[in-house]
Chain A
């Protein structure tokens, strides 16, 4: 088994380790069962947040994201991560610096001050795409790893923005109505459900959550209305920032708009962890602002 393991440097970001540690724990545990070994990327920082940092000074964004990439280059390992925001920073900066010599020289000038150099020797992946990729894992291997199928549950998928968009900077193809995460959800035994405007943003990005919380929650609320319409038992996503916006956002929506949805929100890793038999305690689901109990009752 060990020689077939694919090893990646696990870039954590901020919200997964510091707000939803269950996302981190489940990523490590679930990936190991399908032949992926995540090793710590020591000294990683904030990716840095593409909305907050990119909006202020793109040059700092490039340099700071490049520093995180170089840490993995020094380990001679590709990066795997579990957050769309991190994906935008780490994947996109890695790609741009590889393709654009002028940009790379500028960044390397800054990195030289801290004895680092961007070489462009590694690739960056979202763990979800590795799960879907038959060369690494694939849907069948995910299905085979399931010991407690999520039978009888309706699960909606939120893709988020920065994993697949902008499509010309990515390799996922059309972004109007992707279905690959639904395939992964179906592999867990759950019934994936479609809903209106699936690809709409959660409302948190671009610094809007910090700038105008009511505006940001109003976008989330529109998503919640569309999710309620199809009777989803839970929402799954692949981005802890989207998770924060939906999970804590529902509490804020209740407070500001007086509407209570009570829809459990779980990262795909947490969902996979449940399907592989991990207990709610092993996933720290009690840290979720919206209780996951209604969903757990259907599967436990």
Chain B
């Protein structure tokens, strides 16, 4: 039968009470949200650091994926979401392939970025891609020099994508409207004076 874990000494318990780890910024729901969006059991992380050791961004910046894993476990929501290093992950998945606990630190980062966006924390290059795709269906649209090159190759000047069939763009716009993505991107960029 399970018993309450303690030293059986009320005086010692009282002395230790305020020495258990406690952080007033911690939000236990943050851990749950990250695990749900990232579809990985982040709280199983035992901080071995294999992730940071595998990370191409770590040697050239202060970005430490292990630190973000710790923040996920401890529920340190604002510390994680406001850190500009959050956006230095190239999503190469080396850490995910090497994690000895079979976790997906990369997807923890993706989950945190999704949560940051809900608080309007997002670098503007991400929003500009949204606007570009909303307008043309492409994140990297065609241009005149490329049209000329395509024609020379015997390809159609515009590829047979939304470029050649713009009637498909409306469907893409409807999907983005469903999630208010375009509206939010426009609003955040205009608030930043872009």
Q: How far is the CA of A46 from the CA of B128 in the complex (A)?
A: 14
A203 at interface, CB cutoff 8 A: yes
Given contacts A43-B162, A45-B162, contact A25 B155 (CB under 8 A): yes
B171 contacts A116, CB within 8 Å? yes
Instruction: Tell me the total A-B contact number using a CB cutoff of 8 A.
Output: 209
Q: Given A12, A49, A161, A206, which contacts B139 in the complex, CB threshold below 8 Å?
A: A49
A166 contact from B104, B125, B168, B172, Cβ within 8 A: B104
**How long is the Cα–Cα vector from A54 to B162 in the complex, in angstroms?**
21
Among A25, A43, A116, A201, max chain B CB count under 10 A is at A43
If over half of A's interface residues share one DSSP class (helix, strand or loop), that class is named, otherwise mixed; here it is helix
Closest CB-CB distance, B123 to chain A, in whole Å?
A: 5
Residue numbers in A under 8 Å from B97 (CB-CB): 165-167, 175
Min distance, Cβ B163 to any Cβ of chain A, angstroms: 8
Q: Which residues of A, 6-26, contact B by the 8 Å Cβ criterion? A: 12, 14-15, 17-19, 21-22, 24-25
Stretch from A137-145, A211-219, A226-234 that touches the partner: A211-219
Smallest CB separation, B54 vs chain A (Å):
10
Q: Which residues of A have CB within 8 Å of B138? A: 14, 18, 45-46
Closest chain B residue to A197, Cβ basis = B56
Kindly state whether residue B44 has any CB partner on chain A within 8 Å: no
How many residues on A have C-beta within 8 angstroms of the other chain's C-beta atoms? 66
Q: Do B96 and A54 have beta carbons less than 8 Å apart? A: no
Chain A residues with CB under 8 A of B130? 52-53, 56
- Report the nearest B residue to A54, measured CB to CB: B110
Chain A binder among B5-13, B20-28, B84-92: B84-92
Q: Which of B21-56 contact A (CB under 8 A)?
A: 37, 56
With the chains together, A54 CA to B38 CA distance in Å? 11
Contact with A along B171-187 (1 / 0, CB 8 A): 11011101101000000
Q: Is A114 an interface residue (CB 8 A)?
A: yes
Asked whether B161 is an interface residue with its Cβ less than 8 Å from the other chain, the reply is: yes
Closest-CB distance, B40 to chain A (whole angstroms): 10
Among A41, A45, A48, A203, max chain B CB count under 10 A is at: A45
Q: With a CB–CB cut-off of 8 A, which chain B residues contact A167?
A: 97
Tier of interface size on chain B? 35 or more
A56/B126 in contact, CB under 8 A: yes
Stretch of A57-65, A124-132, A251-259 at the chain-chain interface = A57-65
Given A18-B143, A284-B152: A210 and B125 interface contact (C-beta under 8 Å): yes
CB–CB A56/B90 < 8 A: no
Q: Which partner residue on chain B sits nearest A16 by CB separation?
A: B159
List, in ascending order, chain A residues with CB within 8 A of B141's CB: 14, 18
- Could you say which residues of chain A place their CB within 8 Å of the CB of B128? 210
B153 interface residue per 8 A CB criterion: yes
Verify B175–A60 contact, CB threshold 8 A. Answer: yes
Residue in contact with B174 in the complex, picked from A17, A45, A114, CB distance below 8 Å: A114
Given A53-B129, A161-B91, A210-B123, CB of A63 within 8 Å of CB of B178: yes
Enumerate chain A residues within 8 angstroms of B165, measured Cβ to Cβ.
42-43
- Complex interface residues of chain B between 87 and 123 (CB less than 8 A to chain A): 87-94, 96-97, 102, 104, 106, 110, 113-114, 117, 122-123
B residues neighboring A (CB under 8 Å)? 37, 56-57, 60-61, 87-94, 96-97, 102, 104, 106, 110, 113-114, 117, 122-123, 125-130, 133, 137-143, 146, 149-150, 152-155, 159-165, 167-172, 174-176, 178-179, 181
